[in-house]
A and B are shown apart, each in its own frame.
Chain A
């Protein structure tokens, strides 16, 4: 059993979880805690070890070292109890194409020991939840990818698990289908389920998540609530600024962008400065460490130093930046 005081509150916990495939370490000493009722976004580049972690939590893989508990049961010693508590949706999944939609759900409900007389009703309820009632009698093969994804999610709910492990539920979907999946996740959260969801695209899930964990090379590089993660961005703010452009024939009375860059690099509160990426606004992008006062001071100092500043605005940080900063892109 889980050696944890807040046992009822913690739904997923790993301690030093490690999985090696020969010489390759897919998951490296991973320590993770997911609280009850949370929607935990597990983010990382492709090949970071997300799927391996999830497969271990779903009892499909045995860890090389370390331990993991789901709903208070060890994923190694109490696999059946874990399976009863978990609804798992893999990133790559097949369907029995020659089954009808309701047959598919009925089949998996049978696999989860749901008695035959309640299965029919259950299939209808699940189809209603994922909005596929109108496709009830269709063959699974005839469904679109987004629908199959939703059907697979319904399948994972067949035994009414209180933990959901969803591996890239929105990958390869069109924007509309993505929104639908997101809505569905919200609905499931409202139903009180704990959701552990992975994605390699943070923006895809950041709206529904309450917690975020970022993994790279099998290690957890950052984890916390959305608030905490946002605060990390606030500590380092990104500012775009633009100067008045000089025409070719105009007298060069004004100071240039290059000079501004040198000037800014000399300031202690500017951590980083460089030209803006191709599609960004302004000329320079700087990473600034300091509060609003300090930022206002920087602007007035720049103007005082004779730089023709026309745009100066802070980029409202999204988590994508944290992600980009924390992950080195080694794997991908």
Chain B
């Protein structure tokens, strides 16, 4: 089993198109490299240290000192993580938008298509390769996810703010906690799913475009359109139940239902984005086969 998985992983890393994309980062040394890996444990250690000091110490002075230094540090990391989660998906189209059209421009696409690589293999390899090129950013985001959870948690709870008054009177139900976990999971996955969706948009445009410049411009335009429509969809899904709730008698409304709507919309969005990305990639494969 493990041997098979390992062989599969080796085959994936040995995929010629993935290697083709990855060779571009071997040659460009912009990534801090191993330094990051000594920096990160120090960061997490410091964060944990503050928590321990806060929990263990009896002295109010030490506690205050820990809060004064620890809270801004965690806040700073949270903001950094949030910014990275927002910006990282926007880098992807720049890589994927040129991936296929550039091959066509320089005349290597035909060479690839004449080999035993299938169209599916070429398109998925390009997608995987472009995402793999972003591994430093993706890894950073994964490592900063604990700090992002602070933010997601805050945002998650803020959805419940209208019901704070009710919270005082009623304890939180198990259902509510589950909904919150679902919302948290969706929030954690969202930047990664965004990344895949944006990459897929770029890849699809790359398949149709005639020149790299046009491909990049059109990709970013398309990503903006996709984002705005997804945001609108999400807004409507959130707002309609809110209006409904406002119009009926609040006292009859169970708390569990309140948590359900934002949890379902945010996780629903993740699913919609994934399906959209899959459709785009499939469309790209079909287009390449059709030639």
Contact = CB atoms under 8 A, between A and B. Distances in A.
Interface of A: 55, 58-62, 80, 83-84, 86, 88, 90, 92-96, 98-99, 103, 107-108, 110-113, 116, 152, 155, 159
Interface of B: 14, 16, 19-20, 23-24, 27, 103, 105-108, 110-118, 291
A93 B107 contact: yes
A61 B111 contact: no
Nearest to A98: B27
Given A55-B110, A110-B14, 7 more contacts: A59-B114, A90-B111, A90-B114, A93-B110, A94-B108, A111-B115, A113-B116
A180 to B, nearest CB: 21
B20 A86 contact: no
Contacts of A95: 106, 108
Contact of B107 (A86, A92, A110, A111): A92
Given A61-B291, A83-B116, A111-B115, A90 B20 contact: no
Contacts of A116: 14
A101 to B, nearest CB: 14
Nearest to B20: A107
Contacts of B27: 98
A299 B216 CA distance: 73
Contact of A99 (B23, B105, B114): B23
6 contacts: A55-B110, A93-B107, A93-B110, A94-B106, A95-B108, A159-B115
B288 to A, nearest CB: 11
A113 to B, nearest CB: 5
Contact of B111 (A55, A86, A99, A108): A108
A111 B112 contact: yes
Contacts of B105: 94
Contacts of A155: 111
Contact of B23 (A83, A98, A152): A98
A83 B114 contact: yes
A55 B113 CA distance: 11
Nearest to A97: B106
A228 B256 CA distance: 89
B23 A86 contact: no
Contact of A90 (B16, B23, B107): B107
Contacts of A58: 114
The 4 closest A-B pairs by CB, nearest first: A94-B106, A94-B107, A111-B115, A110-B16
A95 B107 CA distance: 8
Nearest to B125: A111
Contacts of A84: 116
A137 B115 CA distance: 24
A113 B15 CA distance: 10
Given A95-B108, A116-B14, A88 B114 contact: yes
